[in-house]
Amino acid sequence: MGRSIAGVTEVDFALIGHQESWRAAADVLAVLRGPERTPLPDDEIRDILPWLPPRAVCHVDIESLGGARARGLYIDSFIAPDRLADAYVRDNIARVREAAAYAIKAGAKIVSLGGFSSILIEGNFDQLPQRHATVFTTGNTLTVGFIVQGIRKMCAMEGRDLRRSTLLIVGATGDLGSGCARCLAGDVRRVLLTARNMERLRRLAVELEAEGVAVEVATDLRQFSSEADVVICAASLASPSLLLGRVAPEAIICDAGFPKNLAPGAEMPGAKVFFGGLGQVMGGLRFTPDFHGVLNRHPFPDVVHGCLLEGMALALERRFEPFSQGRGFITPERVEEVETIAARHGIYLAPLYNADGPLEETAESSCLPALLPA
């Protein structure tokens, strides 16, 4: 029979994801076809992918530095890369729901929702199939942790004093944006929040102001002057040029949206853009069949999105609980808790990089103990 990854009766975790580009989707299908077959032409991939029902693509084995092991499945929802827009929300939620049912059937104890799946479901948990033995987490708490760690690290690398900075969060009322705001607001001079919903913005501002933080809100980025020198894009921006004239010319910009599409552009040559929310597994990470560099397409080894790593860290910890659910519940205390769990198993902030490549010389330099949560 064809290559099989079946035969394993028990999995600790499942990761639900999808490919963020047609190139990535082509690479996944190329691995499934095997090296002896001609890769599918791009137009065939665009024809076939939207028809594939969600299902497991490979097994994932993770090992902590302390020797703990967990086994899981990567389940692709096969959401097409060009169907992430609002027009496809219902179909995409149905796909995530189907992937969730697959995870339940496979016996996963904890399920992490990766990438766009997390965005779709964070306000729609009631739409997931329910089964007592399987819990779901968006993984957003660890993602927030890695975003915040990345901001601090980038400031340190650039010799910036975060306490004197003005922080702008784009997509501030989402789970990631509000979590980052709560974690960083007390560390900066001023906070600017932007999102589409003014009522939610006001509520978040009131919450932060109660902590003595100076906050400004706007539904339109253009209402802000250009003083923000630290920026977190928690929601995808169509183009970095939208930030042009709205942030300081040499701003540190964390692209924490999905898909990550901010490139250091010619318009803002002084801006320091990095991809945020990513962690690195220092113990061991294995895909069966071998999807290394295909499912995790990063310039450093064993780098994975924080949202997926949260479920893997909790599985290694044998804490099968819905750690991150809903929208707006991420607190600095919860972030610290999950960061500590992750660090205990050798899961740390990934080396920083952007679309142009690594921003650090060595992978090892990202794992300095000083950057870990206390």
Partner 1 sequence: MEPAIDSKCALPAAFTSLSPSALIWQDVLAQAMTGELLAAMNYTSLADICDDPAEVADALEHAQGERGHAAAFAAEGRRIGVSVTNNVDARHWKRLRQAFLRCIAERDFIACLIVQEIMLESFAVASYARVGKVAPGTLGKTFAAIAAEEEEHIEHAMEILRAERALDEQRFDDKVYQLHLEVMTTLAEMLARDCSHGHCEVCHGSCVKPALPDVRLSAAELRGASLHQYLKTLDKLGLPGEVTLTWVAQLPV
Of residues 57 and 162, the one with the C-beta less far from partner 1: 57
* Choice between 13 and 146, CB closer to partner 1: 13
Any bridge partners for residue 288, and if so which? 59
Site string for partner 1, 45-84 (x = CB under 8 A): --xx-xxxx-xxxx--------------x-----------
Contacts of 82 (CB under 8 A, 6+ apart): 22
Residue where the block lists tokens 């100076």: 214
35 makes contact with partner 1 (CB under 8 A): no
**At its nearest, how many Å lie between partner 1 and the CB of residue 192?**
46
Quick one: which segment of 31-39, 110-118, 160-168, 263-271 binds partner 1 (CB under 8 A)? 31-39
CB of 134 to partner 1, least distance (A): 17
**Residue type for position 13:** F
Q: Which is nearer to partner 1, 16 or 215 (CB)?
A: 16
- DSSP classification of residue 3: -
Interface with partner 1 includes 37 (CB under 8 A)? yes
34 touching partner 1, by CB under 8 A: yes
Long-range contacts of 355-364, Cβ-Cβ distance < 8 Å, separation of 24 or more: 355/260, 355/262, 355/263, 355/264, 355/273, 355/275, 356/263, 356/264, 357/299, 358/299, 358/300, 359/154, 359/157, 359/272, 359/274, 360/157, 363/280, 363/300, 363/301
CB nearer to partner 1: pick between 50 and 326:
50
Nearer to partner 1, 13 or 258 (CB): 13
User: Sign of torsion, CA 366 297 147 225?
Assistant: positive
Please tell me the distance from the alpha carbon of residue 231 to that of residue 249, in angstroms, as a whole number. Answer: 12
Nearest to 131 by CA among 150, 155, 108, 161: 108
6 binds partner 1 (CB under 8 A): yes
Residue closer to partner 1 by CB (options 45, 230) is 45
Shortest approach of partner 1 to residue 71 CB, angstroms? 14
Which residue, 257, 205, 249, 197, is CA-closest to 228? 249
What tokens were used for 354? 């952007």
Residue written as token pair 């964070």: 122
9 binds partner 1 (CB under 8 A): no
Q: Is 292 or 318 the residue whose CB approaches partner 1 more closely?
A: 292
**Interface positions, 84-143, toward partner 1 (CB under 8 A):** 102
290 lies in the binding site for partner 1 (CB under 8 A):
no
Beta strands 135-137 and 110-113: pairing type?
parallel
In angstroms, give the least distance from the CB of 83 to partner 1. Answer: 14
1 binds partner 1 (CB under 8 A): yes
Distance in angstroms (rounded) separating the CA atoms of residues 286 and 29: 19
Closest by CA to 173, choosing from 119, 114, 137, is 119
Mask for 295-334, x = binds partner 1 (CB under 8 A): ----------------------------------------
Helices (H), 265-331: 306-316
Among 22, 24, 32, 131, binds partner 1 (CB under 8 A): 32
- Smallest gap from Cβ 11 to partner 1, in A, equals 12
Number of residues that bind partner 1 (CB under 8 A): 27
Residue of 81, 109, 143, 87 whose CA lies nearest to 15: 109
Q: How far is the CB of 50 from partner 1 (least distance, A)?
A: 7
Site residues (vs partner 1, CB under 8 A): 1-6, 29, 32-34, 37, 40-41, 43-44, 47-48, 50-53, 55-58, 73, 102
